[in-house]
A and B are shown apart, each in its own frame.
Chain A
């Protein structure tokens, strides 16, 4: 078993290791996210002609099987495993599924599908996408663009909006109950109740399971806008974001590809970018940032993959537009 990056792109899935790029697997499919679990690869796969599915492979990507048709799924966005057992799938339009048979069949989550606030949810540029699923011992969390973040205290049966103090600057009511455009939500793996989110309107941290949020982007970040966010599993006060210039422009700020790091819970941020390109006009999509105990990893819309292990360096370049990066053991 060695560390590898599963890199989903507009033109298939790549497996990136030090000095080695394998792929494309699933050529012709847009891979919005991919994971490995117990020796099986799972890919949230979309095709502009043939629709959305979850592909799975038990032979390292040489052959694949599709899920049985998934009711109501227009785009497959994110696959998240429970520590033991089931898989979860988030998709467009604002749909959440659970599979108890290893991704063969998927059951829709009625708590999201029939949520009483659903008529107030609106699609963003990427659709009405359920893209963040965090399954922690104390609660489950999902985030949807643009519906906001939700918490379940009953293993997914019901979902409570957790968007207090989170801005929705694009709406008449700037602080509604729902409708916020979360770009990525993560729960810290070692500190129960600590959540981070990169939002369309700022970077936020919560220490009470999302009941309240503190906005953090006025403390050294060049922009409040971005998509991905990464954490340090050993230090809950550390987080990483890759700012982009505004929702209208959506390109790296000041022509530089920079990762910003906080070591004090978001009270201050500093550029942590030695080794990254001095000039770059690109972007990093919401699923294209990953982390483990050894580093942070991300892929750009211009097809480059970077790793911070031993200092920032480029592991791959000239790939198709990168949709997702997931560090794993293969």
Chain B
């Protein structure tokens, strides 16, 4: 199984649930399995530019983006960009 961990605002939008267990082959599939996929991806299906995704601590943009393959036991963390005020 893959663990997906959400930041607090997304967890609130997911009914208060911060951690999900999914069985999906890629980051994209894992995130689309969540009830907040519409907040993570824009209407064109692209990862929103201020949403960062890490697999076991590595930014997926440094790997194959949302097409990064997942294997059992890994943890996907969704993190909002640090900016603004």
Interface residues of A (CB under 8 A from B): 27-28, 47-51, 53, 64, 66, 68-73
Residues of B within 8 A of A64 (CB): 13
Residues of A within 8 A of B66 (CB): none
Instruction: Give the CA-CA distance A69 to B40 in the complex, in Å.
Output: 11
- Measured CB to CB, the closest approach of chain B to A62, in angstroms, equals 12
Instruction: Give the CA-CA distance A53 to B39 in the complex, in Å.
Output: 9
B84 within 8 A of A: yes
Known: A66-B38, A68-B38. A50 touches B43 (CB 8 A): no
- Bitwise, B26-60 to A at CB < 8 A (1) or not (0) is 00000000000011101100001011000000000
Instruction: Give the CA-CA distance A66 to B39 in the complex, in Å.
Output: 10
Instruction: Tell me if A50 and B9 are in contact (CB < 8 A).
Output: yes
Instruction: Tell me if B43 and A72 are in contact (CB < 8 A).
Output: yes
Instruction: Tell me if A51 and B13 are in contact (CB < 8 A).
Output: no
Instruction: Tell me if A51 and B84 are in contact (CB < 8 A).
Output: no
- Measured CB to CB, the closest approach of chain A to B59, in angstroms, equals 16
Instruction: Tell me if B13 and A66 are in contact (CB < 8 A).
Output: yes
Instruction: Tell me if B9 and A51 are in contact (CB < 8 A).
Output: no
Instruction: Tell me if B51 and A49 are in contact (CB < 8 A).
Output: yes
B80 within 8 A of A: yes
Known: A66-B13, A66-B38. A49 touches B43 (CB 8 A): no
Residues of A within 8 A of B12 (CB): 27-28
Instruction: Give the CA-CA distance A48 to B13 in the complex, in Å.
Output: 15
Interface residues of B (CB under 8 A from A): 9-10, 12-13, 38-40, 42-43, 48, 50-51, 80-81, 84
A-B CB proximity, top 8 nearest = A50-B39, A49-B50, A49-B80, A28-B9, A69-B38, A69-B43, A71-B43, A48-B84
Which of A47, A64, A71, A72 gathers the greatest number of chain B CB atoms within 10 Å? A47
Cross-interface CB contact of B81 among A28, A49, A73, cutoff 8 Å: A49
Q: List 26 A-B contacts (CB under 8 A).
A: A27-B9, A47-B39, A48-B50, A48-B84, A49-B9, A49-B50, A49-B80, A49-B81, A50-B10, A50-B13, A50-B39, A50-B40, A50-B51, A50-B80, A51-B39, A51-B42, A51-B48, A53-B38, A53-B39, A64-B13, A66-B13, A66-B39, A68-B38, A69-B38, A71-B43, A73-B43
Instruction: Give the CA-CA distance A49 to B12 in the complex, in Å.
Output: 15
For A72, give the chain B residue with the smallest CB separation. Answer: B43
Residues of A within 8 A of B10 (CB): 50
Instruction: Give the CA-CA distance A315 to B20 in the complex, in Å.
Output: 42
For A69, give the chain B residue with the smallest CB separation. Answer: B38
- Measured CB to CB, the closest approach of chain B to A61, in angstroms, equals 13
For A26, give the chain B residue with the smallest CB separation. Answer: B12
Residues of A within 8 A of B84 (CB): 48
Residues of B within 8 A of A28 (CB): 9, 12
Residues of A within 8 A of B43 (CB): 69-73
Residues of B within 8 A of A47 (CB): 9, 39
Instruction: Give the CA-CA distance A61 to B43 in the complex, in Å.
Output: 26
